[in-house]
A and B are shown apart, each in its own frame.
Chain A
Amino acid sequence: MATGCPFALDIFAEPEDHAKDPGAQFDFPLMPEGQAYDMGHAPDGTPLFDPRILQSAEFFRNPYPYYRILRDHYPVYHDRLHNTYYVTRYEDITRCYFDDEGFNTIPKGSSSGVLGNTQLELSGVEHRRRRNLYGQHLVGQSLKNRIPAIQRQAREMIEAWDGISDPRVVSMADGVRTVELGMAFANEFPIRVVCEVLGFPKEAQNDFYYWYNSMMSGLGGSETHQQGLEARQHLEDYVEGIVEARRKQPTYLHDEVGNPISKDIISKLCETKVDGDYLSTEEITSNIALVVGGGGETTRGAILNMWHLLLRNPEQFEALRNDDSLWDAAFHETLRHSSSIGGQPRHNTYDVVMHGVRVPAGSLMEMVDFSANHDERVFKDPETFNIFRDDLYTGKILRSGYNKDGRRNHMAFGVGPHLCPGAWISHQEAVEGSRILLKYLKNPRINMERMPKDTDGMSLKPLGIVSVRELHLDYDLA
């Protein structure tokens, strides 16, 4: 210390962590699954929460202990680095989802940069009108009519495994076949179903699959955004031709013996009016892009996660083999435990105070469905996968949610006005597809050798907040 200076110059010393990283990409160490990295404590013992963790590799593979810190100590967490408020408790999120005036979906999110203008950005009456345009084709009798098509697509895909020569997808040794369920089935199956119910010609399915993949990778303003925009343009060019044709001549879905069941969705949309006017090609394209986005990635994740979790819990899998009706419970418990949609952004229309935190009007509030699904205030022992749990509602998906008999719905599809319109068809795809898979797969088990490993090099990589990317299964042929 220099003489004459009334304070210690070391107060200007650099922060301890600067030497590691002054920016947001702090390299957090990877922790054992379920344990949080110690981000420090306040003098009163409250654990601190460093917002940089939210963009870290550690968080993506091991998010739940961090969400627990938020739920317990910062139920409305103001992330000043990313200018976002995170809402993490089940009850709070439910209330916000039902109040679509106070917590609106505007303005346009990053997803619509690629998908186009969709109902995701709408609220209130505008939203309800458009949601129902195609949502009605994905529920009730319309949906039942489509189940045979779903089952047929599943059978066709599985039976085609015999002809696949790529060993990364299907291989065989000593009477045991190994399939990578993602590439062999789950990645493409939901897209094929979507193609079919929309009414896309079969010959366009490969293009459609490419456009879908490009649009998905272009979401979020990433460096592949331009590729996503180009794919979206190609989709629109293609759809324009189809729409013009269907406006003149609608086409139909058919049952197994060739009888028409109902018009496909594009044909239905072509004859739909809003405010006395037919939907434009742009509107139809954007909604198709949304159906594809919503119906592809999420269902893919649900199928892979469900098989992954069931095969890691063999006693539950065995029970399911003996009782076909348990598939519904398995599906919903999978989405509670490890869904592939993390949450929904909302903007508060007015100033609100939640848990003592004032949130100025117009703030971005992330409703973290992942966290709601692991809220121990609602679900006992939430980190455990248990298809027999008695606190999860596993019946018909309800827009109103479910809160009776000590059971609650999971939040993977949201709840309230913006409940996922593809929830019912996604459920049917995952369950019907899995039922058919089970018929073909004799004694299925995870091929541990080929599966991605966690940091210890031994155990399986945790599911984290992205669904399992590859699932290598062995099954007996004889």
Chain B
Amino acid sequence: MTESALPVIGANGVAIPEGTRGDAGFRTYEVFQRERVGQSTPKIKPAQLVSREFADNPYPLLAVLRENYPCYRDWLNNCFWITRYDDVTSILTDGANYETRSKAWRLGIEGFGRDLRTALPVLTAQANAWDASCRRLAESAIADFARRGEADLATEFAARLNMQLWLAMLDPPAESAPQVAALLWRLHRGVSWDPHARWLGAAAADELVAELAPLLEARRQAPGGDLISAVAGLELEGGPAQPQDLVATLLEMDFDTLHGALANLWLALLTNAEEFDKVRGDSRCVKLAVLEAFRHSTPMIAAQRFARHEVERFGRLIPKGGLLVCSVAAANRDPRVFANPDRFIAGRKDICHREARGQYRADGLATGITPGLGPPTKHPAVPEDRPRSLYALTRDAVITASGALLEAVDDMVLADEAKPPSAICRRLGEMHACWHLPVRFRPR
């Protein structure tokens, strides 16, 4: 045994294990016993936060938390709920204290491949593909249903456009596009607590590797402007990108916000006639409606962060490893920040009308938090060598697609106005979106 491996005997005659030398290991009585007794929270039961009621409409329950227990210790689900705007943004922008765990970890395939999504060629490939094809793909989708005079905007427009943009970004051969699309869908749905979805997601990762490996190799030899070519051409420490790296990158990229935001925007417009009229009457209002939809009915209603170390915040001691569920839905409807927060108002005065910076603000005004799109940049402007942010790309795609739809049809109404659809989480933890939006209209 080397000298350094000998146990150290403490003042109490007890051997002090290696790991406790320093700040790790046991903590003291005083540190952790700081509250005499626990908080009583009779206005909510933790089971409500994982209930069908919550999945269908989380906003009333989140309002209870936000107004009564802004840092709610949920013993059943072993987490802290953070629900006020300033609190949520302070966590989402604090990478030093709070860790974002990868989707691969949540899917149970940690270490599957390298996440390359922040590499400049990858960002550029996505931006180029989306900018080049968004209008065309939106018009193509609209053309497919316009003549019918009816459509399900959630599936035939929002979900389809999102998926087609992904395919445009990857540019697989036409014959394998359906399979790639199905696998991408399963892969991203697998980031869930649900064991069925997870197994399917993990299997989809393997199948995508098999599907995309020949493409990656081919584009290494003959690159194009697509994302697979961008990944193939990366010069990386540890050798060139492997198919697993490509799939790991696709997994970590945001998959839901465009789909959910587009569906939710149109749900909001179709259920708020006054705002819809505003948008129809002035095409510049489309952008304001999109910004408001990001706030009012963000599809990603929560973001998980884990404390990197013990942190004292919100009047509580949050232990290392503690899970903070940053409820974006609650924050985006915080009356401390937005007046009449439950109302959808295209062009509201208390939201910033340009891309936020830093603490989710611009011009002193707050923005709708969209956690899937990453935190706002701290730089005052986009560096010249980089493409627009994912936030800007997604926002512009929703604006472009919605503009195309407004131009193509007239008199759009809900197919059954007596039973308006609503946004829901299909599975707890999945995006909160309008999954079916049947409409009637008059083609132009």
Contacts and interface: CB of A to CB of B under 8 A. Distances in A.
Interface in A82-133: 82-84, 101-102, 104, 106-110, 112-114, 116-117, 121-126
Nearest to A366: B78
A21 B76 CA distance: 19
Contacts of B144: 2-5
B167 interface: yes
A80 B32 contact: no
Contacts of A349: 19, 24-25
A51 B51 contact: no
Given A55-B76, A225-B41, 11 more contacts: A2-B144, A2-B156, A11-B181, A40-B196, A101-B19, A108-B38, A109-B75, A110-B75, A223-B45, A229-B40, A364-B78
A245 B119 CA distance: 72
A18 B427 contact: yes
B219 interface: no
Contacts of B197: 15
B36 A282 contact: yes
Most interface-central of A113, A282, A358 (chain B CB within 10 A): A113
A2 B157 CA distance: 11
B246 interface: no
A223 B40 CA distance: 9
Given A23-B52, A123-B26, A350-B24, A78 B37 contact: no
A232 B36 CA distance: 11
Interface size class of B (residues with CB under 8 A): 35 or more
B36 A7 contact: no
Interface string B13-38: 01001011000111111001101111
A82 B76 contact: yes
Nearest to A18: B426
Given A80-B106, A121-B32, A282-B36, A6 B196 contact: no
B426 A25 contact: no
Contact of B177 (A6, A25, A116, A229): A6
B29 A126 contact: yes
B428 interface: yes
Interface of A: 2-9, 11-12, 14-15, 18, 21-25, 39-40, 42-43, 48-51, 55, 78-84, 101-102, 104, 106-110, 112-114, 116-117, 121-126, 220-223, 225-226, 229, 232, 282, 347, 349-350, 358, 360-364
Contacts of A121: 32-33
A78 B45 CA distance: 23
B8 interface: no
B193 interface: yes
Contacts of A220: 75
B2 interface: no
A48 B322 CA distance: 27
A9 B154 CA distance: 11
A101 B20 contact: yes
Contacts of A282: 36
B390 interface: no
Nearest to A360: B321
Given A14-B435, A107-B319, A117 B78 contact: no
Contacts of A15: 194, 196-197, 426-427
A225 B156 contact: no
Nearest to B191: A80
Contacts of B323: 83
B182 A81 contact: no
B237 to A, nearest CB: 23
A344 to B, nearest CB: 15
Contacts of B37: 112-114, 116, 229, 232
Contact of A49 (B42, B195, B319): B195
A39 B197 CA distance: 12
B17 A101 contact: yes
B167 A6 contact: yes
Interface stretch (B127-135, B158-166, B290-298): B158-166
7 contacts: A15-B426, A15-B427, A48-B195, A107-B319, A124-B14, A226-B42, A360-B101
A82 B55 CA distance: 15
A363 to B, nearest CB: 6
A9 B435 CA distance: 12
A430 B134 CA distance: 74
B77 A82 contact: yes
A72 to B, nearest CB: 15
B406 to A, nearest CB: 20
Contacts of A80: 106, 192-193
A160 B100 CA distance: 62
A51 B197 CA distance: 13
B42 to A, nearest CB: 6
Given A49-B195, A221-B76, A225-B42, A6 B140 contact: no
A47 to B, nearest CB: 9
Nearest to B45: A223
A420 B141 CA distance: 66
A112 B177 CA distance: 56
A81 B304 CA distance: 12
A14 B435 CA distance: 8
A23 B181 contact: no
B47 A55 contact: yes
A223 B43 CA distance: 8
A362 B36 CA distance: 23
A124 B31 CA distance: 14
Contact of B320 (A2, A222, A362): A362
A23 B429 CA distance: 9
Given A113-B38, A232-B37, A84 B320 contact: no
A178 to B, nearest CB: 37
Contact of A39 (B36, B155, B195): B195
B117 to A, nearest CB: 22
Given A5-B144, A81-B193, A107-B319, A23 B53 contact: yes
Interface in B93-148: 101, 106, 108, 110, 140-141, 143-145
A5 B77 CA distance: 41
A91 to B, nearest CB: 21
B26 A101 contact: yes
Contacts of A2: 141, 144-145, 156, 160
Contacts of B429: 81
A106 B17 contact: no
Contact of A23 (B12, B45, B51, B306): B51
Given A9-B160, A82-B76, A113-B38, A21 B20 contact: no
A23 B428 contact: yes
Nearest to B42: A226
B362 interface: no
Contacts of A109: 75
